[in-house]
Chain A
Amino acid sequence: MSNILVVAEHLEGKLRKATLPTIGFAKKAQALTGGKIIGLVLGHNAASVAAELATAGVDHVIHVDSPIYANYLAEAYAPAVAEIAKVKGASIVAAPASTTGKDFLPRAAARMDAGMISDAIEVFSHNGAVGYKRPVWAGNLIARETSTSAITAVTVRMTNFDAPAAGAAAPIETIELGFAAPEHTQFLSFDQVKSSRPELTDAAAIVAGGRGLKSAEAFKMLEELADLIGGAVGASRAAVDSGYAPNDWQIGQTGKIVAPNLYFAVAISGAIQHLAGMKGSKVIVTINKDGEAPIYQISDYGLVADAFKAVPELTAALK
């Protein structure tokens, strides 16, 4: 058997959108391997998630309900994922390349003695096996790799696969695994950054600011512009480290990977680690007072100007 197991990500009874491109990836892989796409929900009182997943393009849903999955822990997820993969004959186990997927899947891979591919952006046929493409070197190089283990673990980059069209509801199977709660790890808290704006990873427009803004106060003008165009606000690492923006806003190699239709880079110089997170954007607009900043080399439209003057002017013009 060569089924594809997709581990769903969810929060507060809702499927997280990051799961959908992962199913999109599974569809492409399925075209090469055959087999079924099995969605897995590990949760507690998460029947709503299983129901949502059932219409998201999978062939089958497995729902494991236990209090030990009430708060996410890699030590609880890894054994469950490995067990289901074995019982259901999976040859590929996929999860979103989110901080959750990146946390539990390598642990599960080690348990399954499986090779692992991080941040897959494409699948292709390679000598009868599945080949994977993934960005390395801060996005300046694409590696092509294949796997020889019976099971391969894959995290999927959200920006590179489409969500499959919603289909008829797949059957939901409820399974009990009987694992005990991890003894050595205890979940203490999740401090969520609440925002009324769209999530960075699925915003159609992003207004991002850099160190050149010099204060948290100055980010307010980016927020105003973002709200006007229904976008999200992002930041460079230097802006986050300087305390101008929360760490959840960071875009780049160490932060979020985004690909909106429209990306404003305001007072950001364009270090490769920043570009790694945003150069997949459709239209890039740069506002920087230094006309030689490297970010102009990848920008569609550049305005050489002082952000403190240009951004309010832009907001006013769009009102």
Chain B
Amino acid sequence: MKILATVKRVFDTDGKPKLTADAKLDVSSIDCKLNPFDEYGVEEAVRLQEKGIATEVVICCVGPEEAQKEMRTALAMGGDRGLLVKVDNTESLDTLSIAKILAAVVKKEKPDLVILGKLSTDSENNQVGQMLAELTGYPQATFAFKLTPDAAGGWAIVGREVDGGTSDVKVKLPAVITADLRLNEPRYASLPGIMKAKKKPLEITTPEALGVSVKPAIVGIGYELPPARKAGIKVASVAELVDKLKNEAKVIS
């Protein structure tokens, strides 16, 4: 079974965002990193390879030249090779454009399983996996916390985290899975892993070479900062807290 695991280079959202005068995001002092949700996807792919279920794991990213760094981080966890679809100004692409480019990659690579993260922690779309599934005609199992593939039978059973509980679905391979945070616990790359990753093949291609041209439908107008919440007061005792809740905030009668 061949697995394609996608990784996105995201802004590190632990840093406080700053805006420019024209309401754009000031990215000059923001670090980038591998999207945390993709670490869960890559980990799952690598575990399936270690169990002998996956025969090949390809790490794929749509991003600028610099994204090779995040791809090497993923390759240090495991996997065989990388495929970067080079787009300089990735932020100007919308999710459907990314999904179209990834669909062209799927067409070329023909994986049995495509594993994405469920969400980009910076742009927070939660869309690309589902769109890719439609464009490729594959079934989808989103928000996965348990993945049990039966490669020989050509199926996978996926446990999904949904509102109100959990749900199991059975998908025929090839399929698209999006990883939730309880799927596994991603490893820290070991030093030998990092050394090995440096030597793994990393091919660079372009949307044009894959035969896709995209025109984003969603256009960014600008950003604003959310209204700040002010710190309130500290109370000295439970009695004072009860008094404030009853008589000041009036949220308890």
Contact = CB atoms under 8 A, between A and B. Distances in A.
A317 B242 contact: yes
Contacts of A224: none
Nearest to A282: B251
Most B C-beta atoms less than 10 A away, residue of A78, A102, A103, A137: A137
Contact of B167 (A137, A182, A190, A301): A190
27 contacts: A75-B140, A78-B134, A99-B161, A103-B130, A103-B142, A106-B126, A106-B127, A106-B129, A106-B131, A107-B140, A110-B130, A116-B95, A117-B218, A134-B124, A135-B226, A141-B17, A144-B224, A148-B217, A148-B218, A248-B164, A262-B252, A296-B234, A297-B229, A298-B231, A310-B238, A313-B238, A318-B252
Contact of B245 (A104, A133, A285, A313): A285
Interface in B232-252: 232-235, 237-239, 241-242, 244-245, 249, 251-252
Given A107-B140, A145-B220, A279-B229, 13 more contacts: A102-B130, A106-B129, A109-B131, A135-B226, A140-B13, A141-B225, A143-B223, A184-B171, A241-B182, A256-B163, A284-B229, A301-B234, A313-B238
Contact of A301 (B170, B216, B229, B241): B241
A110 B16 CA distance: 33
Contacts of A192: 164-165
A136 B133 contact: no
Contacts of B13: 137-138, 140, 272
A304 interface: yes
Nearest to B19: A141
A256 B239 CA distance: 31
A177 interface: no
The A interface, classified by DSSP as helix, strand, loop or mixed, is: mixed
A248 B163 contact: yes
Interface string B88-114: 000000111001000000000000000
A174 interface: no
Chain B interface mostly helix, strand, loop or mixed?
mixed
Interface residues of B, number: 79
B98 to A, nearest CB: 11
A218 interface: no
Contacts of B95: 106, 116
Given A107-B131, A186-B170, A118 B125 contact: yes
A74 interface: yes
Given A117-B218, A191-B166, A272-B14, A135 B249 contact: no
Contacts of B171: 184-186
Interface stretch (B67-75, B115-123, B204-212): B115-123
B157 interface: yes
Given A140-B13, A184-B138, A247 B182 contact: yes
Contacts, number: 250
A240 B161 CA distance: 13
Given A100-B163, A303-B241, A187 B234 contact: no
A250 B231 CA distance: 24
Given A102-B142, A247-B161, A262-B251, A301 B235 contact: yes
Contacts of B169: 73, 185-188
Nearest to B161: A247
A67 to B, nearest CB: 17
B133 A303 contact: no
Contacts of A118: 124-127
A164 interface: no
Nearest to B97: A115
B143 to A, nearest CB: 6
Contacts of B130: 74, 102-107, 110
A283 B142 CA distance: 34
Interface of A: 11, 73-75, 78, 98-100, 102-111, 113-119, 126, 131, 133-149, 152, 182-193, 199, 201, 205, 229, 237, 240-241, 247-248, 253-254, 256, 261-262, 272, 279, 282-285, 291, 296-305, 310, 313-314, 317-318
Contact of A184 (B167, B172, B232): B172
B61 interface: no
B64 interface: no
A109 B100 CA distance: 12
Given A99-B163, A107-B130, A116 B96 contact: yes
A2 to B, nearest CB: 16
B195 interface: no
Contacts of A189: 167-168
Contacts of B43: none
A261 B217 CA distance: 37
Contact of A237 (B23, B168, B181): B181
Nearest to A74: B140
A236 to B, nearest CB: 12
Of the candidates B119, B162, B163, B166, the one having the most CB atoms from chain A within 10 angstroms of its own CB is B163
B139 interface: yes
Given A75-B139, A102-B126, A146 B162 contact: no
